[in-house]
Amino acid sequence: MEAVIDVQGVEKMYRRKVHALRGVDLRVGSGEIFGLLGPNGAGKSTLVKVLLTVIRATKCQGTLLGSTVGDKSVLRQVGYLPEHHNFPKYLTSKQLLRHFGAMSGVERAQRNRKADELLEVVGMKDWANAKLGSYSKGMRQRVGLAQALMNDPKLIILDEPTDGVDPIGRKDIREILTHLKDEGRTVFLNSHLLSELEMVCDRVAIMVHGLVRQQGTIEELTDGQSGFAVRATAPISEDLRTQISSKLVGIDPIATDDPTELVFATGDAEKVQPAIDTLRSGGMSIQAFGFRRPSLEELFVKAVQEHPDGARPGAQRKGARS
Amino acid sequence: MILMQTKAMFIDAYRELNAKKLFWITMMLTVVFSLALATIGIDESGVSFLWFKIGFLPLNTDIITAKQFYLAAFSYLGIGIWLTWIATILAIISTSGIIPDLVTEGVIECMLAKPISRVRLFLTKYSTGLMFVALQVAAFSVVSMLVIWIRGGYLEPRILLAIPIVVCFYSFLYSVTAFIGLISKSTMTAMLITGLFWGMIFVINLGENIVITFEESTRLYVQEREERIDLARSNTIKLLERQNPADEEYEPSEDEILKMNPFLTNFQIELENDRKDLRTLGVWSSSIFAVKTILPKTAETIDLLNRNLIADDALMGDESEDEPIIDPQSDIDIDQSELNRNVTERFRERSIAWILGTSFLFEGVLLGLCCWIFARRDF
């Protein structure tokens, strides 16, 4: 798959003290929806800003849409919605879209057509001529999304696009993102709402402490952590656990905090039946049995917990333990 | 695309101004002020306001032409008071937020993520700030030109020179506003520092005016004393020669002259004191000149308009009407008209290249620093 974003060893150090990015390697393929996760201060926004030339990287190798990162001309093909956007309140949404369209080099006729079209897509057509100052946060977010699409971008970078948007609006935005993907565009999402990302992302990266710790499809990331789970009505004794282990040779158990539960790294239900039999013969009742895959949230929490400093808000200072 | 982006930024700036009440209040006041010129009339019987004659003003069309009268009113009231002071203060209040607003979080990211270089983005945004003043002074000049045409009977297109001159004048101050706004990200700080800077320039200009007036009056004293000493000396020599009629070759010595006229010694001492004062004042005026060279020349820039519009004799008044200044200590009179002329000449002998060149250099250095900071800063 052709890479839309392909960067290696991105570093950003602020005032020679704060190490915000510590060698980020990231690859985003064309036509996919890519999610970047991470706790506060992990460096997600800094990375996005480096790609968009808002921040100058201390070190950066790689390309954005085939051009070297930092090349302004390539931004003509990029749409961007920042997290804390502050669009001028004196403009109407139609004027805002036309303005940013012009700033991206969209011709006048196309600008006018596209503005009307996009306002309809994001459900803001009836508010096209109302000033942004009168909008709710969710409405501004919708207009912001439309703004990011004015130049028919090949790559759309959205920082917390569903922030402040109601459930219906979130669903609408998810549909828009899926539609953009169907059109062959690449969407790069930066969000804290893991359930939202899980629903739409093809691939995700988990960033902790200025480094990408994991990267891949959700299946790839959960590989070895998903399997069939058996839950008994009472805590399972160590004796029974040993018996089950001896019967399920070649199937790795997956660690779980629940004492009533056993999880096995296999997708074959038949292979887990001896465990159920052993539990029953040991006088235990089975409460539940089924396939279990960790949620994105669980993956995220696990990744952060593996790097304790990563849970701390703010970027790491130079010299601190990684 | 460059033109498209520039146009978009100017349209946006206009919309921003349009959304501000202060912009329209200023525009309205500007037009009202220029229309107020139409309420003043002059004819052979004197000056009038609306339908009323103003008796205490000793002016009529025998003394000054209607054209000169209106041009002087435009220059002194319109430019000297309205555009230079009131409108400029309103302009600083209205435009000092442009750069701090640009670098606000949530705005700057959207702009920098567009295919436009940082330097061009900054300079275009800077130019939009000058648009406020350009619109204001354009409205004022056009209305004033029409008023003078209708009331004075002369169409004077040179009035439109006010547009570039006042925009230049404002740009010198606005470069400070932009620089402080970029560094501090605060509209209030940018506004206050610009005000202080302007005040500092005003004080320096005032100081220079005072020093040059003293210097020129001292120079006139020195000239007058030299003439008096020469006269007294030649009279004394004639007197001594008359006392020695037998000797045709007689030439009185210095001692004999001073013995005959002991006041000459005091005159010489006073002359030397004045020369010393003149040298000291010369050092002061040169120092102020050197300081001013690196600063923007706001007053001189505005005066460029007067240089073009108003004839020198109209500026300096009628010599015969001026009362002479009498120095109580030396009883030396100096001609106020001559002093005014000399002071004005001192300022007007400064070339346009010096006035505008050094001012633009100041602006260029500040803008260069702004561009350097803006291009390197992480937002």
pLDDT digits (tens, 9 = 90+) for B194-234: 999 999 999 999 999 999 999 999 999 899 888 888 888 88
Mean pLDDT of A253-272: 86
Q: What is the pLDDT of residue B264?
A: 83
- What is the CATH topology of the domain spanning A3-221? Rossmann fold (3.40.50)
Mean pLDDT of A293-303: 82
Q: What is the pLDDT of residue A60?
A: 93
Q: Cβ(B30)–Cβ(B144) under 8 Å? A: no
Among A6-20, A54-68, A120-134, A221-235, where is mean pLDDT lowest? Answer: A221-235
Please tell me which residue, A185 or B349, carries the higher pLDDT value: A185
At residue A315 the predicted structure's pLDDT band, cuts being 50, 70 and 90, is: very low
Task: Establish how many alpha carbons lie within 13 A of residue B72's alpha carbon, considering only the half-sphere containing its beta carbon.
Answer: 17
Q: What is the pLDDT of residue B197?
A: 96
Identify whether B197 is part of a domain.
no
- Which residues on B lie below 8 Å from A80 (Cβ)? 109-110, 113
Q: Is the pLDDT of residue A36 over 90?
A: yes
Q: Is the pLDDT of residue B320 over 80?
A: no
Mean pLDDT of A263-267: 86
DSSP 8-state symbol, A237: P
A54 → closest Cβ in B12, B112, B117: B112
At residue B293 the predicted structure's pLDDT band, cuts being 50, 70 and 90, is: very high
**A104 contact B CB<8A:** yes
The answer on B178 and B50 residing in a single domain is yes
**A103 contact B CB<8A:** yes
Task: Give the gap in angstroms from C-alpha B100 to the nearest C-alpha of chain A.
Answer: 13
Q: How far apart are CA A110 and CA A173, in angstroms?
A: 23
The answer on B167 and B31 residing in a single domain is yes
Q: What is the pLDDT of residue B228?
A: 85
At residue B109 the predicted structure's pLDDT band, cuts being 50, 70 and 90, is: very high
Q: Is the pLDDT of residue B322 over 50?
A: no
At residue A309 the predicted structure's pLDDT band, cuts being 50, 70 and 90, is: low
Residue of chain B whose alpha carbon sits nearest to that of A98: B8
Q: Is the pLDDT of residue A320 over 80?
A: no
Identify whether B117 is part of a domain.
yes
Q: How far apart are CA B368 and CA B264, in angstroms?
A: 61
At residue B310 the predicted structure's pLDDT band, cuts being 50, 70 and 90, is: low
Task: Give the gap in angstroms from C-alpha A56 to the nearest C-alpha of chain B.
Answer: 6
Q: What is the pLDDT of residue A308?
A: 59
The answer on B35 and B165 residing in a single domain is yes
The answer on B88 and B181 residing in a single domain is yes
Q: Cβ(B370)–Cβ(B179) under 8 Å? A: yes
Q: How far apart are CA A211 and CA B308, in angstroms?
A: 66
Q: What is the pLDDT of residue A321?
A: 36
C-alpha B56 chain-centroid distance:
28
**A102 contact B CB<8A:** yes
Q: What are phi and psi of A216, to 5 degrees?
A: 155, -170
The reply to whether the predicted model has a pTM over 0.90 is no
Indicate yes or no: CB of B376 within 8 angstroms of CB of A73: no
State the total domains in chain B.
2
Q: What is the pLDDT of residue A287?
A: 92
Domain residue spans in chain A? 3-221, 227-292
Q: What is the pLDDT of residue B277?
A: 94
Task: Give the gap in angstroms from C-alpha B372 to the nearest C-alpha of chain A.
Answer: 14
At residue B313 the predicted structure's pLDDT band, cuts being 50, 70 and 90, is: very low
Q: Is the pLDDT of residue A262 over 50?
A: yes
The answer on B171 and B28 residing in a single domain is yes
Q: Tell me which residue range forms the domain holding B243.
A: 207-348
Residue of chain A whose alpha carbon sits nearest to that of B116: A72
Q: What is the pLDDT of residue A316?
A: 45
CATH class of A227-292: alpha beta
Nearest CA to B174 out of B188, B196, B191 is that of B191
The answer on B21 and B120 residing in a single domain is yes
